[in-house]
Chain A
Amino acid sequence: MAGLVPSSGKSAAFAPARIWLMLPSWASIGFFLLLPVLLMLVYSFLTKEFRGGVVWEFSLSSYDRFFLDRGLFGDEPPQIEWTYIAIFWRSAWQAGLATILCLIVGFPTAWFIATRPSHTRSLWLFLITIPYWVNLLIRTVSMKFLIRDNGPLNEWLMAIGLIDAPITMINTNFAVQLGLFYSYLPFMVLPIYAAVERYNFALNEAAADLYAPKWRVLWLIVLPVVRPGVIAGCILVFVPSLGAFLAPDLLGGAKNWMIGSLIEDQFKGAAGNWPFGAAVAMVLLSIVLVVLFIYARSHARASEQ
């Protein structure tokens, strides 16, 4: 998250020792983050090789395919291609909804943990992390079993008489949403916990002392003060949800694709199209960067005031 926090603009001369100390992190960021992204950027402008891989020949066809519809044989006048935009749109609202649900559940959870006595706090945090000792794929597959038509969830609902026939949950947007919400909830809880734990509860007394009823204390004092933690949590849930592919693949089926599924499909097996997959990834990356840039700008302006 360090990149999101605007620096104060102090560009003091780096001491040589500091350069050496920072070299390992810069080197690993450059090699494992920047280099792959650059590689993808280059690939997105290359030509598809039929059995996967690329031909080193410059081409705009991947971006053309993403944005424009030229008919089945590519000879019709270009129109806007809605297929991929629709997938992006579905991803955006699924990720947005997951963020909102994680916030609604995560905020009270984080608040609860942060306000426990200090010796029980670490136990609660530990409990939060337990499900994450198991691989995400395994957890997503288990959820698939839980919510299928003749799975335990439907059986219980029928047993207590809430429903008469199984509800189809698998392969719906609901299932995808459930998967995203479950996968990324701790990423909401932990940053909010960190913010609430630092929160000075004397501020609540000060606000009450100055005639603020409870809900106004929450709205005018608590939320603004812990806002950085809330925003960090929202970014940490929204960004990976946007590119998620396990939940939509396993729980959503072919009708409920998200961007992650689309990209994954382009790189998987012989049917793939690497340049197109790279181009989709670049479009996704651009959207995320624009969102983060807008946030960083507004944050910088807010802290200047």
Chain B
Amino acid sequence: MANLATALEIVAVDKVFGTGANAAIALNKVSFSVHDNEFFTLLGPSGCGKTTLLRIMAGFETVTDGDVMLYGKRLSDLPPDKRPINTVFQNYALFPHLSVAENVSFGLQMLGRGKAETAKRVADMLRLVHLEAMADRKPSQLSGGQQQRVALARALAPAPKVLLLDEPLSALDLKLRQHMRIELKQIQQETGITFIFVTHDQEEALSMSDRIAVMSAGQLQQVGSAEEIYEAPKNRFVADFIGETNLFDADVISNNGSGLRVRIAPGMELEADGNRPDKRETCVSIRPERIVIGTDETVPCVVDKLVYLGTDTHYHVRLGCGTLVVVRAQNDQGTKGRFAPGDAASISVAPGAAKVLVD
């Protein structure tokens, strides 16, 4: 598990592309710390600034304002070849004229390591990514998954302080991607190197990361563990982007200090975690799997449609006031086909399921 010493610190980083009327703000006052030995993920939709931030860490882009610190040392003035940081590129960028072994040894040779040391390290890295047999092949003779492993071995070989991974799994097919998730996490734990992983795929982020930074429109939205981000999203964007959720514009009825009593629909009042002092209205998120569909007439509704997904079924139900709610019911025995479109039903919300959001 990650210990809490800070490896990399992003301090109030601004990045503006272009000038004057064409200026585009890519990053807006982004600050966070990445811990030593941590698997840290930058998650956000395309265009949110995560790749720009990664390129700033690698040294391919400069900051407009702010700083990047590595173990307390300013990195902002160092060119890429002077930073003890290596990158796994999105399309791998393997050197096409060099063999697999030559690709992996490139960084070590540039650092002037001895022949014996380099050869041993290359052999170790190829064993780590299970490519011992491919050492003399050219990149063009490898499959996409194998190229991806070469890129990983090449970036790990110089034992960087931080490894940056720019959507490295996006070019692989689903089965391989799922397999590589487990393997990447395992390699990170084996090598003890701090990984900073960029992705737009929330499932990837949730399954691998120690902590996740969610970004949107050049701004940091929330930093936290997978559970924190999923179970206690801070704002509307995070709740909506990670997993599926029901968002309600609710009226605040009372405030008991640790939570709010809110009305999310006429006749549907509940306790929601979180606090927003002096607000009479707030946004509330309830995950579909925390709502139970039944017939006990607590909150009556009508089934609008259902989506069968194998392990579970999504019911889209309409409340009396017309609000649409998505309910996720697991397909254990007896529940499958229990409701059909048009059926009358009722829903109840599990205690602690409702979360108050900042807009």
B-binding residues in A (CB < 8 A): 200, 202-203, 205-213, 216, 220-221, 224-225, 227
Stretch at the interface among B90-98, B193-201, B213-221, B294-302: B90-98
**A209–B83 Cα gap in the complex (Å)?**
8
Known interface pairs A202-B89, A216-B110; A208-B80 also in contact (CB < 8 Å): yes
Asked if A206 contacts B89 (CB within 8 A), the reply is yes
**A213–B60 Cα gap in the complex (Å)?**
14
Smallest beta-carbon distance A209→chain B, Å? 5
Asked if B81 contacts A212 (CB within 8 A), the reply is yes
Question: What are the residues of chain B within 8 A of A206 when measuring CB–CB?
Answer: 87, 89, 93-95
A-binding residues in B (CB < 8 A): 58-60, 79-82, 85-87, 89, 91, 93-97, 106-107, 110-111, 154-155, 158
Asked if B110 contacts A211 (CB within 8 A), the reply is yes
Asked if A212 contacts B89 (CB within 8 A), the reply is no
Smallest beta-carbon distance B121→chain A, Å? 13
Smallest beta-carbon distance B250→chain A, Å? 48
Known interface pairs A205-B60, A205-B80, A216-B110; A210-B93 also in contact (CB < 8 Å): no
Majority secondary structure of chain A interface residues (helix, strand, loop or mixed): helix
**A178–B106 Cα gap in the complex (Å)?**
42
Q: Contacting A208 at CB < 8 Å: which of B79, B91, B111?
A: B79
Question: What are the residues of chain A within 8 A of B97 when measuring CB–CB?
Answer: 224-225, 227
Smallest beta-carbon distance B107→chain A, Å? 4
Asked if A209 contacts B95 (CB within 8 A), the reply is no
Known interface pairs A205-B89, A206-B87; A211-B81 also in contact (CB < 8 Å): yes
Asked if A208 contacts B81 (CB within 8 A), the reply is yes
B157 and chain A: residue at smallest CB distance: A210
Question: What are the residues of chain A within 8 A of B154 when measuring CB–CB?
Answer: 210
- Identify 27 residue pairs between A and B in the complex whose beta-carbon atoms are under 8 Å apart, listed by A's number: A200-B93, A203-B93, A203-B95, A203-B96, A205-B80, A205-B87, A205-B89, A206-B87, A206-B89, A206-B94, A208-B59, A208-B60, A208-B80, A209-B80, A209-B86, A210-B86, A210-B106, A210-B154, A210-B155, A210-B158, A211-B110, A212-B81, A212-B106, A216-B110, A225-B95, A225-B96, A227-B97
Question: What are the residues of chain B within 8 A of A202 when measuring CB–CB?
Answer: 89, 91, 93
Question: What are the residues of chain B within 8 A of A205 when measuring CB–CB?
Answer: 58, 60, 80, 87, 89, 93
Interface centre among B85, B86, B110, B111 (most CB of A within 10 A): B110
Question: What are the residues of chain A within 8 A of B107 when measuring CB–CB?
Answer: 210-211
Question: What are the residues of chain B within 8 A of A209 when measuring CB–CB?
Answer: 58-59, 80-81, 85-87, 155
**A220–B94 Cα gap in the complex (Å)?**
13
Asked if A221 contacts B110 (CB within 8 A), the reply is no
Smallest beta-carbon distance A174→chain B, Å? 38
Smallest beta-carbon distance B205→chain A, Å? 23
Interface centre among B79, B85, B93, B107 (most CB of A within 10 A): B93
Smallest beta-carbon distance A196→chain B, Å? 14
Question: What are the residues of chain B within 8 A of A200 when measuring CB–CB?
Answer: 93
B97 and chain A: residue at smallest CB distance: A224
**A220–B109 Cα gap in the complex (Å)?**
11
Asked if B86 contacts A207 (CB within 8 A), the reply is no
**Interchain residue pairs A-B with the least CB separation, the first 4:** A210-B107, A211-B110, A206-B93, A202-B93
Question: What are the residues of chain B within 8 A of A220 when measuring CB–CB?
Answer: 106
B84 and chain A: residue at smallest CB distance: A211
Smallest beta-carbon distance A16→chain B, Å? 33
Question: What are the residues of chain A within 8 A of B111 when measuring CB–CB?
Answer: 211
A205 and chain B: residue at smallest CB distance: B60
Question: What are the residues of chain A within 8 A of B82 when measuring CB–CB?
Answer: 211
Asked if B89 contacts A210 (CB within 8 A), the reply is no
B79 and chain A: residue at smallest CB distance: A208
Smallest beta-carbon distance A204→chain B, Å? 9
**A165–B154 Cα gap in the complex (Å)?**
62
Q: Beyond A209-B85, A210-B110, A210-B158, list 14 extra A-B contacts (CB 8 Å).
A: A202-B89, A203-B93, A206-B87, A206-B94, A206-B95, A207-B95, A208-B59, A208-B81, A209-B80, A209-B86, A209-B155, A210-B106, A220-B106, A227-B97
**A75–B79 Cα gap in the complex (Å)?**
76
Question: What are the residues of chain A within 8 A of B80 when measuring CB–CB?
Answer: 205, 208-209
Q: Contacting B81 at CB < 8 Å: which of A213, A225, A227?
A: A213
Question: What are the residues of chain A within 8 A of B155 when measuring CB–CB?
Answer: 209-210
**A208–B86 Cα gap in the complex (Å)?**
10
Question: What are the residues of chain A within 8 A of B106 when measuring CB–CB?
Answer: 207, 210, 212, 220
**A203–B96 Cα gap in the complex (Å)?**
9
Asked if A211 contacts B158 (CB within 8 A), the reply is yes
**A212–B108 Cα gap in the complex (Å)?**
10
**A202–B111 Cα gap in the complex (Å)?**
20
Interface centre among A208, A224, A227 (most CB of B within 10 A): A208
